[in-house]
Amino acid sequence: MISAKELMFYENQLIEKGYKYICGVDEVGRGPLAGPVTCAAVIMPLDDLIEGVNDSKKVAKKKREKLYDSIMEKAVAVSVQSYDHTKIDEMNILNATKACMTEAIMSLPVAPDIVIVDALTLDIPYKTFGIIHGDALSYSIAAASIVAKVTRDRFMEQKALDYPQYDFEHNMGYGTAKHIAALKEFGKCPIHRDSFTRGILGLK
């Protein structure tokens, strides 16, 4: 497992240039058939690293939950926003993701000096620094990915109680075979994305 110190390569470059409040931003939920896209913007103290922080997809659920608590406790500032299935259908997923990220950044209680973002161009009044696969290469983006992932997973686990036939507690809205079979058998539930499910349901 990569260490927190190893994930500081880009942050250290920015610190050397005089930046203090470095914001990492990431999203979870661009691909699912159901549920929101969730974006987190996080400014972490970079002189007191949390060991184990990594791309949320590479961290086991129990560890992710513990890291989430540590990040929320230590962060200089955190903002989380979710855009639901309605906004995704209205705006398309790319535009909804960009708007959600922008809202998360602009809602931070502390203004960032620079924003590190994973390969998306955002219209924000802050300097930005793009890193491809940033959630696996930047400590700040990795922290944001964990906050976004835990927040969205908790929402989907709650919705699994309302709509148990779709297995949301295991697939988090992604198009697993079991989820698609349930979608074809029962049709959509209120949190399914029309724009993502029309083809599966044979609709134009």
The residue count for the chain: 204
Q: What is the mean pLDDT of residues 127-136?
A: 88
Give the pLDDT score at 75: 98
Over residues 150-165, mean pLDDT: 98
pLDDT of residue 55: 83
What domains are there in the chain, each with its CATH number? 6-197 (3.30.420.10)
Q: Do 114 and 22 meet the contact criterion of CB atoms below 8 Å apart? A: yes
Residue pair 42/148 in contact by the 8 Å Cβ criterion: no
Choice between 86 and 120, residue whose per-residue pLDDT is larger:
86
Distance CA 204, CA 195 (A): 10
pLDDT in the model for residue 102: 98
| Crossing angle between the packed helical segments 139-162 and 61-74, to the nearest 10 degrees | 120
Per-residue pLDDT at 204 exceeds 60: no
Residue that the structure tokens 């949190």 belong to: 191
Q: How confident is the model at residue 2 (pLDDT cuts 50, 70, 90)?
A: confident
What is each CA distance from 1 to 4, 125, 130, in whole angstroms? 9, 35, 23
> Does residue 128 sit in helix, strand or coil?
strand
> What is the tens place of the pLDDT at every residue in 160-186?
999 999 999 999 999 999 999 999 999
Is residue 149 within 8 Å of residue 15, measured between CB atoms?
no
Q: Which residue has the higher pLDDT, 202 or 73?
A: 73
Interval 38-67: pLDDT, tens: 999 999 999 999 999 998 888 999 999 999
At 136 the pLDDT is 85
In this prediction, residue 156 has a pLDDT band, given cuts at 50, 70 and 90, of very high
